[in-house]
Chains A and B, each alone.
Chain A
Amino acid sequence: MSTDRRTFLGVAGLGALAIAGKASVDALASGPEAGKPKAGTRWAMVIDPLKCLKEEGCKACADACHKVHNVPLMANKKHEVKWIWKEPYERAFAAESEYTQEALKEKPVLVFCNHCANPPCVRVCPTQATWKREDGVVMMDWHRCIGCRYCVAACPYGSRSFNWVDPRPSLAEISPEYPTRTKGVVEKCTLCEERLAEGKLPACVEACEEKAILFGDLHDEASPVRARLRESFTIRRKPELGTEPEIYYVVGGKPDVHV
């Protein structure tokens, strides 16, 4: 009897310890992992360039992104820092041609970090200051980055910026919710991981009135990105390099489709 009781107490105690332990591990892990949605998620975006073109001078997405992430507007173009911007079609897709794209060659296409499934920037980083999360986000640790700029050399899309000087004096206003950066570190789009953690859409997606940017989980067949990928021809930037970008661009198609 007493033995049973002791055994019971022991088991109960171990159980309690295990629960407490699990809780504290969870608490400790709640840093970067907290935003991780259900296992197996693979975030991706589908850009619809024709929808984006409806308002050609529009840069609502870039403004929203740069504002919430404290991305500075540098006076010197050489020191430019940008997370999301528009690039002429010809450059974005290395699609030089004298005739076929006559109407479109100079048209702006939205570009930013492709959050490659096989990112060269992550491969080359000597300190693991940039890494690939399971949900597909290519992350940056601005406290670990030594500023060697190897990742900038490795990125085939020109998506990374370096802080050549202190960026803070070039911020019109500071969003207190997001860290500012220091001189000497590399930065780029992080797919709004801080907003994903709260269940929000990325800032650029939310800011686009034309709904030209779709966001969702590639592994979820019902997600808006999968729906669009099912019904439209899409391309990715420089697929021949094997980087497997997670950002898709709709080719031609139906600019008025509603998803």
Chain B
Amino acid sequence: MFMFEKAVVGSRRYWAWVFALLCVIGAGFVSYLYQLNVGLGVTGLSRDITWGFYIAQFTFFVGVAASAVMVVLPYYLHDYKAFGKLTILGEFLAISAVTMCMLFIFVDMGQPTRVLNVLLHPTPNSMMFWDMVSLSGYLFLNALISLVALSAERKAVAPPKWIKPFILLSIPWAVSIHTVTAFLYNGLPGRSFWLTAILAPRFLASAFAAGPALLILLCMIVRKVSSFDPGDEAIRKLSIIVTYAMLVNVFFVLMEVFTVFYSGIPEHVHHFQFLFAGLHGEAYLVPWMWTSMALAAVSIVLLVVPTFRNNLKILPVTCVMVFVSLWIDKGLGLIIGGFTPTPLGEVTRYTPTLPELLIVAAIWAIGFLMITVFYKIALAIREAMGYEIAH
């Protein structure tokens, strides 16, 4: 494809990074062949915990993908100029994250060769069908928008007018992908942990904190390794978005905690007990969940106090805290906590196996590789245009 020539010219450091990612991808690919041959029994999943690391990562990265809207919306709806240079980075992040989501779903299939049955027998009453529609639609929108924007930028002209409706459509579409992902879980009558209307809002709030936090970190890396600078103002504005989203997220969690514990319905309480105190002698997630809580608490202090938030030395640390906290919450607690205890009240331990972890690492590496290549192309074009060098 055109513009890809920019991705194959790079420094030694660039190639070393790409090579390292390819190694991780290779290890994961071999692990996947093993899983394909033996079955999903090579993972730590069981009859009781049928979804685990793969689906949890999928859920987390749907959020990262949706968070692109946090730069697109202020720029296009409020004409917030400082985000102008960022939108393309947000869209590339979205494309990479959606691709990761699709891969996480794919590796979780017991019969991957039959996956197109979802298209052959479209079933609108299944939320999985709608998840497929919304994710592929979002991938298409972001690919189209970033391609058109970038080629316009290369020719130093304004993007064509016809792209505007697609950009506007991508805003509610971003909200829809995470809403539908929440609907995957919260329409199931026997899974009380997910059976809450706050799930979709919570997903969105945590996504709008974790996604922009990751984007801040990416901006800071970009600033280090290239001559492109998204600007302090954009980064500071992103940090305000992270602050509000994180506060709203914690507020939603506390609302859920109140409802669950004040009503005292055992089926709802047991999941929280398992996650935060342990249940029937199993407490393996307890340290993780409290780490997540502690990181959330500390990061909120660092975000809310302007001195800390505006200090660009502290901010990346805060962003890592936000990201890790929410990754534990969604990437570990949400799925395992939803399956434990089982509808029959059993507590089964789930530990991801090495092949499972390698496959997850490989999909992360694919995401990083896509981000690297996309950002490389965008930055090469901007450097060629002579942008920002004097910033």
**Residues of chain A having any CB pair with chain B under 8 Å:** 76-81, 87, 90-92, 94, 96, 120, 123-129, 144-150, 152-158, 161-166, 182-186, 238, 241-243
- Nearest A residue to B341, CB-CB: A91
Please state if A146 and B115 are interface contacts (CB–CB under 8 Å).
yes
Known: A124-B128, A127-B121. A147 touches B109 (CB 8 A): yes
B108 and A243 within 8 A (CB): no
Q: Which residue in B38, B41, B126 is a CB contact (below 8 Å) of A125?
A: B126
**Are B129 and A126 interface neighbours, CB within 8 A?**
yes
Q: Once bound together, how far apart are the Cα atoms of A96 and B343, in whole Å? A: 13
- Which A residues are CB-close (under 8 A) to B267? 94
Q: 9 A–B contact pairs at CB < 8 A?
A: A79-B41, A124-B125, A126-B118, A127-B114, A128-B121, A149-B51, A183-B38, A183-B41, A185-B110
Indicate if the CB atoms of A146 and B111 lie closer than 8 Å.
yes
| Nearest opposing residue in chain B for A79, CB measure | B41
- The answer to the question of B40 belonging to the interface, with a C-beta cut-off of 8 Å to chain A, is yes
| Complex Cα gap A153–B335 (Å) | 10
Range of interface residues on chain B?
Answer: 35 or more
Interface centre among B39, B47, B112, B117 (most CB of A within 10 A): B47
Q: B73 within 8 Å of A by Cβ?
A: no
Contact A184 B266 (CB under 8 A): no
- Report Cα–Cα, A150/B344, bound state, in Å: 17
Q: Is the CB of A147 within 8 A of B111?
A: yes
> In the complex, which residues of chain B have a beta carbon less than 8 angstroms from the beta carbon of A184?
39-40, 109-111
Q: Main secondary structure on chain B at its contact with chain A?
A: loop
A81, B342: Cα distance in complex, Å = 16
Give the complex CA separation of A42 and B47 in angstroms: 30
Residues of chain B lying within 8 A (CB to CB) of residue A156: 188-191, 343
CA distance A57 to B324 in the complex (A): 49
Cβ proximity bits B100-135 to A, threshold 8 Å, 1 near / 0 not: 000001001111101101101101011111001000
B345 at the interface (CB under 8 A from A): yes
Q: Which residues on B sit within 8 Å (CB–CB) of A120? A: 188-190
Complex A-B, nearest 10 residue pairs according to Cβ-Cβ distance, in ascending order: A147-B110, A156-B190, A184-B110, A78-B46, A164-B41, A183-B39, A165-B41, A126-B128, A241-B189, A126-B126
B50 in the interface, Cβ–Cβ < 8 Å? yes
Cβ contact within 8 Å between B188 and A154: yes
**Chain B residues closer than 8 Å to A161, beta-carbon distance:** 47
Q: Does the CB pair A153–B118 fall under 8 Å?
A: no
Do A126 and B123 form a contact, CB below 8 Å, given A166-B39, A242-B189?
yes
Query: How far is the CB of B191 from the nearest CB of chain A, in Å?
Result: 7
Q: Which residue of A lies closest to B46 (CB)?
A: A78
- CB-CB under 8 A for A148 and B128, given A96-B266, A153-B51: yes
Max chain A Cβ within 10 angstroms of own Cβ: one of B46, B48, B110, B346: B110
> For residue B117, which residues in chain A have a CB less than 8 angstroms away from its CB?
126-127, 129, 144, 146
> Does B348 lie at the interface of the complex (its beta carbon under 8 Å from any beta carbon of A)?
yes
- Asked if residues B39 and A164 are in contact (CB atoms below 8 Å), the reply is yes
Cβ of B377 under 8 Å from chain A = no
Does B45 belong to the interface (CB within 8 Å)? Answer: yes
B346 in contact with A148 (CB, 8 Å): no
Who on chain A is nearest to B125 by CB? A123
Residue from the list A144, A165, A166, A183 in contact with B114, Cβ < 8 A: A144
B343-A155 in contact (CB<8A): yes
- Nearest A residue (CB) for B131: A126
Q: Is there contact, CB below 8 Å, between A91 and B108? A: no
- The winner among B109, B118, B184, B343 for most chain A CB atoms within 10 A is B343
A146 touches B129 (CB 8 A): no
Instruction: For A166, list chain B residues within 8 Å (CB).
Output: 39
With A94-B267, A184-B40 as given contacts, are A162 and B50 in contact (CB-CB < 8 Å)? yes
Contact across chains for B39 and A165 when beta carbons are under 8 A apart: yes
Closest to A166 in B: B39
The CA-CA distance from A125 to B129 in the complex, in Å, is: 9
- Across the interface, which residues of B come within 8 angstroms of A152, CB to CB? 50
Q: A94-B345, A154-B190, A158-B344 are in contact. Are A164 and B45 (CB under 8 A)?
A: yes
Determine the distance from Cα of A163 to Cα of B105 in the docked complex, in whole angstroms: 18
Shortest Cβ gap from B149 to chain A (Å): 34
> A66 CB to closest chain B CB, in angstroms?
15
Chain A residues whose C-beta falls within 8 Å of the C-beta of B127 in the assembled complex: 124
A120 CA / B342 CA spacing, docked (Å) = 16
Which residues does chain A contribute within 8 Å of B120, judged by CB atoms? 127
